[in-house]
């Protein structure tokens, strides 16, 4: 993937995570009706984190060979 596109995607994922944390309603923490956007932002962040770690491990393996 193009490095500029990766930077944009990373920025958007982190922006979504920060927005989700900022908009999290602590009074109704487990309510999906109130915090659905926060939950989606957190799930996207976790998925992107897993993708990034797998990609970094793949690059590291290629460098070691």
Average pLDDT of span 33-51? 94
Sole residue written with tokens 């995570």: 17
Cβ(42)–Cβ(17) under 8 Å? yes
Segment 13-27 mean pLDDT: 92
pLDDT at residue 1 is higher than 70: no
Mean pLDDT throughout 14-26? 92
pLDDT of residue 65: 72
Angle at 34 between CA 32 and CA 38, to 5 degrees: 75
pTM of the model: 0.83
- Identify the top-confidence range among 2-6, 7-11, 28-32: 7-11
Domain residue spans of the chain: 3-64
* Separation CA 36–CA 30 (nearest Å): 10
């Amino acid at each position: 993937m193009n490095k500029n596109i990766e930077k944009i995607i990373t920025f958007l994922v982190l922006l979504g995570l920060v927005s989700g944390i900022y908009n999290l309603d602590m009074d109704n923490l487990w309510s999906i009706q109130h915090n659905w956007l926060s939950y989606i932002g957190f799930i996207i962040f976790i998925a992107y984190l897993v993708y990034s770690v797998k990609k970094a491990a793949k690059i590291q393996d290629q460098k070691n060979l």
